[in-house]
Each structure stands twice: as C-alpha cells, then as structure tokens.
Amino acid sequence: MKQFSYVVKDELGIHARPAGLLVKKAASFQSSVKISKGEKEADAKRILGLMGLAVKKGDTAVFTIEGPDEEEAAAALQQFMEENL
C-alpha cells in the first residue's frame, strides 16, 4: 500500500475538468485508488464520488493506492496533482 497527501493549490479546488482527468488517470491503473478528505473517502475512479468530497483550495487530499502497480500509480498521480491542481 502506498499513500501520499497533497494540499490543493487550484483556486477552484478539484472541480469538474481536473476531476475528470484525475478519474481517467486513476482508471489507467489496475490498483485500487482511494482519496480521502477528513472523514470522507471516495474511489478515485468514480467522478461522482470524487466530486462529492468537495475538495477546495487549501484542503489536504490523502491518496491511498493498493495493488500490483501501486508504485507506478502513486508516482503518476502525485505528478498529476502537482501539474494540474
């Protein structure tokens, strides 16, 4: 299991466009990808769950990746967050 935290810097938080791209990126891996904010947790491969977290600027999103390609997935998702959010 790999885990990392990311503080969202985008003014709009995780809004529709980057959320869709994030879901696409997460879905490209076999590993399970979960994102949590506070007590809420969502599957990063499902846009409605991700949008339901309502992650705003300054919030910390915690990613938990578990599966056969977790190392690669964690690195790619962390890079995605830094470049897009």
Provide the CATH number for the domain around residue 49.
3.30.1340.10
Catalytic one among 4, 10, 15, 47? 15
Q: What is the pLDDT of residues 32-48, one digit of tens each?
A: 999 999 999 999 999 99
Domain of 41 in residue numbering reads as 2-84
Please state, in angstroms and rounded to a whole number, the distance separating the CA atoms of residues 85 and 78: 10
pTM higher than 0.85: yes
Tell me how far apart the 2 most distant CA atoms of the chain are, in Å: 34
The share of the chain scoring above pLDDT 90, in percent, equals 95
DSSP class of residue 54 equals -
15 is an active site residue: yes
Number of domains in the chain: 1
* Per-residue pLDDT tens over the stretch 9-38: 999 999 999 999 999 999 999 999 999 999
